[in-house]
Amino acid sequence: MKSWFPSGNIYLLLLSGGTGSRMKSELPKQFLELSGKSILLHSLETFLNWGKTKSIVLVSNKDYILESETLCSSLFRERDRIVEGGDTRHGSTLAGISSIQFSANDIILIHDAARPFVSPDDLDKLSIATEEFGVSTLASKNHETVLEEEKEGLKFLNREKIWFMKTPQGIRGDILKKILEKPYSTEPTDLCTWAQAQGISAKLVESNPYNLKITEKPDLALAEAILPLFQSWKSE
C-alpha cells in the first residue's frame, strides 16, 4: 500500500504480563528465545522498525520489570517506558492507558507481546481503520467447518461469518475517553469486548496468515518453523 501517516499520534501498549503458567516454563513466554532472540524483542522491534509510534509502553508483570528493563532499555527511545501491569489483562491495559496523555484524534494500539509475527502493512491497515471507524482489530478468516456442541447435538455455523480475533487492536482517542467514563458489569477480556459492551463495534481488518500467539510449548516449535516463512513473505 502507499505510504501512510496518521493525523494524530500513535501510542502502543505492549502487554507483557505472562508468568509462564500455560507454557509450563520457569520463564514467562515473552522471555523465551525464538531463533536466538526473545519473543518480546521480536515484538518490540516490529513496532520500532515500523517507525510510526510516538511512544511504546511496555506493560510488565511486577515480578519481571527488571528483566524487561535489562532486555529492552537499550532499544527504548526517549518517550518509551515500562509500567507495572495489573492482575488481569484489562487491569494491565488500564495501567498502560493511565501512563499516556492522548488526544481525541490519537490512536492507541494494544498488542500481545507473545505475537511476534505482525507486519508493517498490518499496522498501517489497522491504524487507517481505527482512524476511520474508531475501534478496529486484526482478525483472520476461517476456512474450516465450524461446529457448536449443544445438548441436542451439533450445530453447524456459517463459516463465512466466523473470524478469529488477533492483535494488535486499535482505538481512537475520543472513543477511548468515552468508554473510560462508563462502568461495566463484567470485566472485558480485550479492547473489542470492552467497546462492544458500550455499543461500539470493532472494524475487522484481515491479518497476515502468520499472526500466531505463542501460548504453549508446541506453539514455540511452530513459531520457529513460521519465522523464515514470515520473513520471506514480508520481503515479497
pLDDT digits (tens, 9 = 90+) for 87-104: 999 999 999 999 999 999
What lies within 8 Å, CB to CB, of 131 at 6+ separation is: 6, 7, 105, 107, 172
Closest by alpha carbon to 17, among 71, 89, 74, 66?
Answer: 89
pLDDT at 1 over 60: no
CA distance 228 to 210: 11
Q: What would the grid cell of residue 12 be?
A: 502502543
CA distance 175 to 154: 39
Ordered structural domains, the chain, with CATH? 10-235 (3.90.550.10)
Pairing assessment for the beta strands 10-16 and 135-141 based on DSSP bridges:
unpaired
Residue 217 Cα distances to 33, 161, 166, 211, angstroms? 12, 30, 19, 17
The whole-model pTM stands at: 0.94
pLDDT digits (tens, 9 = 90+) for 111-125: 999 999 999 999 999
pLDDT band for position 79 (cuts 50, 70, 90) = very high
